[in-house]
Amino acid sequence: MNTDTLVFYDFFTQLRKQTDLQLDMDQYTLFLELFARGYAWGDKEQLRRLCSTLWLARPQYRDIFDREFDRAFEKWIATTPAPQPEIPAKANKKPETTENQTELTTPQGKKEPEQPPPAPPPVSPPSTPESSRMAAVYLELSDVDAEEEQGQAGNADGGSILEHAFILTNHFLPVKERRLQQNWRYLRFKAEKKPGTEIDIGATVERVAREGGFIDFEYEPRIEYKRVFHFLIDHEGSMVAFEAMAQQIVNAFRSSLVNTQVHTWYFHNYPGEVLFENPFHTAAIDTASWRARLRKNPAALFIISDAGAARGGEQFERILATYDWLEATRRYAPQTLWLNPVPRSRWPGSSAVYIASFIPMVDISKSGIAMLPELLKRL
Amino acid sequence: MSLIKEKNYKRYEGAALQSYNKELKLEAYFPSEELKEAVELARFLQRPLLLRGQPGCGKTRLAEALAVELYGDEYKKHYKPWYIKSSTKAREGLYIFDHLKRLRDVNMQKENVDLKTYRKLGKLGEAFEVSTAEKPAVLLIDEIDKADLDFPNDLLRELDENRFSIPETGELDVQAEYPPIIIITSNDEKELPGAFLRRCIFHYIEFPGESLLLQIAQAKIAATFEKELPEEALKKLIERFKKLHDDMDKHANADLPPSTSAMLDWVSMIAQQVSTGKMTFTKDHDLKDWEDTLPFPGLLLKSLDDYRFGTKKNS
């Protein structure tokens, strides 16, 4: 199949690549069929809404979605061949377009809608010149970045932080402590089932029926939530700005889960042969012994690091070292997640994008944090 | 894929609840064009519509408003709300089997009892039971993210095939004659499983603009009070509320920007004070003596940080 001619197929695959929306062909086919029947021919925004209703399962990808949609739409306009004479008349006139839709949705629908051409002409305003369009997208992205930066503990530019004397508080972090606690609670996985004290009536009756008489009660199993978590925190350098945030995350974790052991370890840039027990580097453990501990006492792992996104640039030494380290650790701790304090929109063009391709990585935002329980469960 | 197969299909226009319905005692509901479009798609594709948005933005009420529009006074027969709690199990939505009653009957040596008398259908089961192509049921699964992580996955087959079985009674195929219209709401406190999401279509309810807020507030006051607030004064209140909301929304230190439903409480409280003469408006339609301070902040600001933020800015 030549996918080049499929409407918005590129857009669909870009969404699949850049997000973890778990889109499958069924969802693309749905779109194609609706589109072929004339749905959302009204204008660009209607088309955007259709794609969003069908594909955008997680609102946190709205930025990526909009950016890729605009790109795809522009490309589509540019590559759509000149329309057939009779089609524009049908599609360009608003009332008739509406009629076409009504036809679609009325139950009587005696006649099937006409087969549209493979790529119906868009009715939206003509595309803006390339340069101004790019500028608009650029401005849009800058706005988003500016807003997101407002939520960070400080400017990602390390120099300016040291120039100004101010107190780092956790009041301006992108995720409130209360929300963190609320989300951490969902990480209470059922670890162990023990006989409980509450009678399971259904099971008891079933047992009576099975054994022909009452012998003993069946009890609801009591579920224990004991778990061990290790936090590996990148600190110093570009992470200075995010240290308060990392601390807040660990604190929220400690205070919201009972029966849970939380260990914190520190490293700089990427985890290596040694992990430090405290930020002052006064005590350390070599990674081999640490992995041995994991083998004895299985745990879930959270790595808090910008993965190079704060400074930008692709450092292949860092990417490869991180890859090797994670591969070596994976067999001891399959449940490993990466929390990146730098917003997702800033990852492109940095090592973070590469690292995110071999370990689940979320940004520390309301939506990113909300994804953790589900991600952890998938591993 | 087919055209909408509902017999007597009519598009949801949000017309039935434009004002307070005295007989049904239901408040007005104003869906956006985008939301109406999403409802149409859900009916067209016969897939659950997953609604998201800030708490209090009107996610839960859509299903009821849709049922009222489709069925008028008889809407309760076709509207099946299933409110999820943290302990809710997927099977409870299908049926509950009264084991205790059965045990008692066995001990009393009752014979020839129809096993179906011990089972009671849950909301999903009821929706399957009453849903027909002429009158599809409207099922609300409210706050699905409250339940256990596995909950949505436990419903996949039922939502896909619109059928389930009840092993206790030997009913192996309880099937809906026509799929119900399913509206699911989520507060995004927890991510939902991918397998579940791919079966849904999605809509995010944006916070309403000033004109829609005004419309909502007018409808609420008209329903609650005999005397309406002057339009200009109400406009100013809404402007003030919207500014507070937007400031809080942008500000990282604010926790929970006030919702539409909080706005309704706030405006109603002020209307009540005005109707009893405890508050009055100035010639410029401002609240007299409250020009610089936010009245009843407790109705809008729900945490200590927000309270400090909201009251500081206005004092």
Residues paired with A199 in a beta bridge: A219
Q: Which of B131, B164, B130, B159 is nearest to B144 (CA)?
A: B159
Token couple for B282: 């100035």
Phi then psi for residue A303, to 5 deg, are -105, 125
Give the Cα separation of A247 and A264 in Å (integer). 10
pLDDT at A142: 38
Distance from A316 to chain B by nearest Cα, in Å? Answer: 32
CB B31 within 8 A of CB B38: no
**Which residue carries 């006649």 as its tokens?**
A111
Contact B197 A22 (CB under 8 A): yes
Distance from A137 to chain B by nearest Cα, in Å? Answer: 21
Pick A91 or B110 by higher pLDDT: B110
Token couple for A143: 């706005």
Phi then psi for residue B82, to 5 deg, are -120, 105
Whether the predicted pLDDT of B31 surpasses 50:
yes
Q: Which residues of B touch A148 (CB under 8 A)?
A: none
pLDDT at A81: 64
Q: Which residues of A touch B45 (CB under 8 A)?
A: 30, 34
pLDDT at A135: 37
pLDDT at B125: 95
What are B67-74's contacts with CB under 8 Å, separation 24+?
B67/B138, B68/B16, B68/B17, B68/B21, B68/B24, B68/B26, B69/B12, B69/B13, B69/B14, B69/B15, B69/B16, B69/B17, B70/B10, B70/B12, B70/B135, B70/B138, B71/B135, B72/B16, B73/B23, B73/B24
Q: Nearest Cβ partner of B149 from A46, A58, A374?
A: A374
CB A14 within 8 A of CB A79: no
What is the tens place of the pLDDT at every residue in B106-144? 888 887 888 899 999 999 999 999 999 999 999 999 999
Give the Cα separation of B51 and B35 in Å (integer). 9
Q: Which chain B residue is nearest to residue A37, measuring alpha carbons? A: B3
Residues paired with B97 in a beta bridge: B119
Q: Nearest Cβ partner of B9 from A50, A106, A179?
A: A106
> Can you spell out the DSSP letters for A16-62?
HHHS-----HHHHHHHHHHHHTTTT-S-HHHHHHHHHHHH--SGGGH
Q: Collapsing DSSP states into helix, strand and coil, what is residue B248? A: helix
What is the tens place of the pLDDT at every residue in A271-322? 989 999 988 888 899 999 999 988 888 888 999 999 999 888 888 889 999 9
What is the tens place of the pLDDT at every residue in A207-252? 887 787 888 888 877 666 567 889 999 988 888 888 888 888 888 8
Mean pLDDT, rounded, of chain B: 88
CB atoms within 10 A of CB A248: 21
pLDDT at B277: 85
What is the tens place of the pLDDT at every residue in B188-202? 777 788 888 888 999
B113 touches chain A (CB under 8 A): no
What is the tens place of the pLDDT at every residue in B169-223? 888 889 999 999 999 999 877 778 888 888 899 999 988 889 889 999 999 888 8
> Which 283-312 residues of chain B touch chain A by CB within 8 A?
303, 305
Whether the predicted pLDDT of A122 surpasses 50:
no
Strand A300-304 and strand A336-340: pairing? parallel
E strand residue ranges, B171-282: 171-175, 181-186, 201-205
Q: Which residues of B touch A171 (CB under 8 A)?
A: 253, 305
Mean pLDDT, rounded, of chain A: 73
pLDDT at A266: 94
Q: Collapsing DSSP states into helix, strand and coil, what is residue A256? A: helix
| The pTM of the whole model exceeds 0.80 | no
Residue A131's pLDDT band (cuts 50, 70, 90):
very low
Pick B73 or B54 by higher pLDDT: B73
Distance from B102 to chain A by nearest Cα, in Å? Answer: 8
